[in-house]
Structure formats: structure tokens, C-alpha cells
Amino acid sequence: MRKRIDSVSINPNGEPINASRYYFRLGSNDYEYHVMRGHCSCRILKEKIDWDLVCYPLDSKNSFGKKHGEFEATHIFTKTYSQWTTKPTQPEQYCFPLSIELTLPQVNLSQNVYIPSTIVDSTMFRLPPICPVYTSCK
């Protein structure tokens, strides 16, 4: 299992902050790599990754459906929040976010979530060379 989340947020000075998080399951351990501003760190997660993330109910009044690659996707939105999700096999209260946008007075966040599928380039999951090897993660 693996997942990548790319985030762009705006700090109070109006400067963009780009960050990427990579999640991998190797054997019995789940690893998280965090890449930001030319630095990379890693850690072994104490709790197992919940690969089916919780999100807004899919019966939200502010939503509409659309084909997104090989999945049926739903766009859920509020005044400050927008999320594209897919719901392939999860129970009713679960869905998997494909992208998230949040806009508040002090925060502007945009995230894209990548999971392995036939429509995602496998190079999206390659760690940058600055990252430590997984055996050095604690």
C-alpha cells in the first residue's frame, strides 16, 4: 500500500508553502515521509494507516457526481471547503478524498491525493534523493 499527498498552503505573509507526504506499508510497518523546503524526514507510524479516510457524507446537499478516471467521483463543497472523493468499496460513512481545498481568512490549502491505480504514473511514488532510507526511520 502507498499514498502520496501534495499540499500547497499560503502562510500569513502570502508566501506559498509546498509540502509532500508519502505513506508506505512495508512488511508490518507503516512509514511516513515528509518533504518540505528541500528537507526530508521519515518516521515509523505507531498506529496503522487507515487507508479509507473519513470525509463528508456522500449524500450532502452540496454535491454532484462525475466520472474521475476509472472511478465515479463526487464533488462535495461548502462555503470554505471543497473535496473530490471516490467511494469504490468502503462502508457508507467512508470515502477516499482525491483532492481537498480549504479557504479561510488565515489559511489557503490545496491537497491532491495519489493512490496506485492504472491512471497514476508510478513515478509519483518515488521519494526524492534527499530522503533517508526506510531503515533509518524511527
pLDDT tens for each residue of the chain, 138 residues long: 778 888 888 877 888 889 999 988 888 899 999 999 999 999 999 987 766 555 545 445 455 555 555 666 777 777 777 777 776 555 555 566 777 787 777 667 777 777 655 556 778 889 999 999 999 999
Could you give the dihedral angle defined by the CA atoms of residues 25, 54, 35 and 99, in that order, rounded to the nearest 10 degrees?
Answer: 120
* pLDDT in the model for residue 87: 63
* pLDDT in the model for residue 103: 79
* pLDDT in the model for residue 48: 79
Q: How far apart are CA 111 and CA 104, in angstroms?
A: 15
* pLDDT in the model for residue 58: 45
Q: Are 96 and 88 in contact (CB under 8 A)?
A: yes
* pLDDT in the model for residue 65: 59
